[in-house]
Structure 1
Amino acid sequence: MNTVFLVHGGLWDPMNAERFWRTPGIVAALETRGITVLAPDRPQSPDSWTEEVAVLRKLLPPEPVVVVGASNGCSAAALLAIEYPDLVQRLVLAWPATGGDPVVDERTRAGLTSRGASVAVADELLTANTLRGVRDDDLALLRIPVAVLPSVPENPPHQRKTVDTLLSLIPGSRELPGCPEPPTPHFPPHKDELAETLAAFAR
């Protein structure tokens, strides 16, 4: 049985693995399905995606894992797969945060700077093709199984167009059944279906 490495959402905010994965019951639901789960915390105030990847790389086990990125965590998850293909067996991009949207980026930039990020750091983190901090050309070179899980219903930070572009960019990628992203109030009824979907992809 494969190990699943969960990369939570959030960007320069109080979000962590406990709030994103454990409190909504996702870790427990995966474990009851026989999945070994690792759910580390991302850096809360990173200066760059390079910093995020360096921190997460140290937490990866020596054997290949299934990496599940969520929202802004999709950027770190995708970069792990691109930079360490020997350690990432499969990749799920769940509720991918929409990059390169001027309205969304301006709102996100305001949030970053209000929480203490410099303008330079905010610009670095928001630099995007389809995913923030990830080159589309690098996504197109992925040769591992990749699945994309949309936010249903879509919302401004998690737009359907991002899912469609990722599916067209990444060779052989496929779409998984979508749901609201945790830890939103609309997520709880979807917990078991999500866990079954992720477990099936990881097997």
Structure 2
Amino acid sequence: MNVLLIHGGLWDDMDAPRFWHSPGVVAGLAARGFVVDAPDRLARASSWEAEVAHASSWLSRGPVAVVAGSNGCTLGVKLALTYPLLVSRLLLAWPATPLPAPSVPSGLLDGETLRGVRDAELASLRLPVGVLRAVPENPVHAWRTADALLDLVPVAVELPGCTEPPRPTFAADLPGFVLTVAEFVENR
């Protein structure tokens, strides 16, 4: 199975090596036999549409299970909506809570539960969706966002939460996170 990892961040210096590679997520999933891609998102994108256009080539191996983290959850949802035949499963990990961000273009901040996505779009998702909350809760990844996703997406299931990979404490959560992703992707 092919797994596409979409890192978080929004108009900052976050990238795939810092979010997925250095914390061991890519290696952990590859060791379990998955073909893993963890490319960099479009830096300082002007719109979510520009992000989707940039990311469309990532689906060339199709169909893929998408694991999206933090603000990358918006891109994961947008890819699933735009390319429903190429995204087989969607795991929304540590979904970002929309907070004011004055230096970010307003088009990237518009939306409801998730930036850039209308709640009606979330409710239209029909592929398997997993939601993984940040533990412990924090203002950027508030549990109310995960709760809202679980309420809005009719097929969503809650998965065991953990800290986010850029945090040093994620090392203790890595084995459990890799197992959670593997089981979700393999539909166990």
Aligned length: 186
Q: Who is 1:36 aligned against?
A: 35
Match of 2:141 in 1: 158
Question: Once the two structures are superposed, what CA deviation does each residue of 1:122-171 show, in whole Å capped at 9, x if it has no partner?
Answer: 21111120000011101101110000000001100100000000001001
Aligned-partner Cα distance in 2 for 1:59–1:84: 11
Partner of 2:176: 193
Question: How many angstroms apart in 2 are the aligned matches of 1:58 and 1:34?
Answer: 22
Matched to 1:129, the amino acid is: E
**Structural mapping, 1:1-203, within 5 Å:** 2-99=1-98, 104-105=99-100, 108-109=101-102, 113=103, 122-203=105-186
- Give the deviation of 1:197 after TM superposition: 0.5
Equivalent pair of 2:66/2:89 in contact (CA under 8 Å): yes
The answer to whether the Cα contact below 8 Å between 2:125 and 2:155 also exists between their aligned partners in 1 is: no
| Aligned Cα root-mean-square deviation (Å) | 0.9
| Counterpart-to-counterpart distance in 2, 1:15 and 1:21 | 10
Question: Aligned partners of 1:63 and 1:150: how far apart in 2?
Answer: 27
1: CA distance between counterparts of 2:156 and 2:107?
28
Q: Answer whether contact 2:8 2:14 (CA < 8 A) is retained.
A: yes
Secondary structure, counterpart of 2:126 in structure 1 = coil
Unaligned runs of 5+ in 1: none
Gaps of 5+ in 2: none
Match of 1:93, SS?
strand
Q: Residue 161 of structure 2 aligns to a residue in which SS?
A: coil
**CA distance in structure 2 between the partners assigned to 1:95 and 1:133 by the alignment:** 16
Distance in structure 2 (CA, Å) of the matches to 1:138 and 1:191 = 31
Contact preservation (8 Å) 2:2, 2:61: no
User: Which of these two proteins has the greater Rg computed from alpha carbons?
Assistant: 1
Structure 1 position 63, deviation (Å) = 2.3
Aligned equivalents of 1:88 and 1:153: distance in 2? 29
Report the AA paired with residue 54 of structure 2.
Answer: V
Once the 2 structures are TM-superposed, how far is the Cα of residue 62 of structure 1 from its aligned partner?
4.1
CA distance in 2, matches of 1:143, 1:125: 24
- How far does the alpha carbon of each residue in 1:155-196 deviate from its partner, in whole angstroms, 9 at most, with x for none? 001000000000010012101100011111221100011001
Alpha-carbon distance in 1 for matches of 2:58, 2:174: 26
Contact kept? 2:111, 2:117, Cα under 8 Å: yes
Q: What SS does the aligned partner of 2:113 have?
A: coil
Find the aligned partners of 2:109 and 2:150 in 1 and give their Cα distance. 21
Q: How far, CA to CA, are the matches of 2:49 and 2:120 in structure 1?
A: 17
8 A Cα contact 2:16 2:39, kept in partner: yes
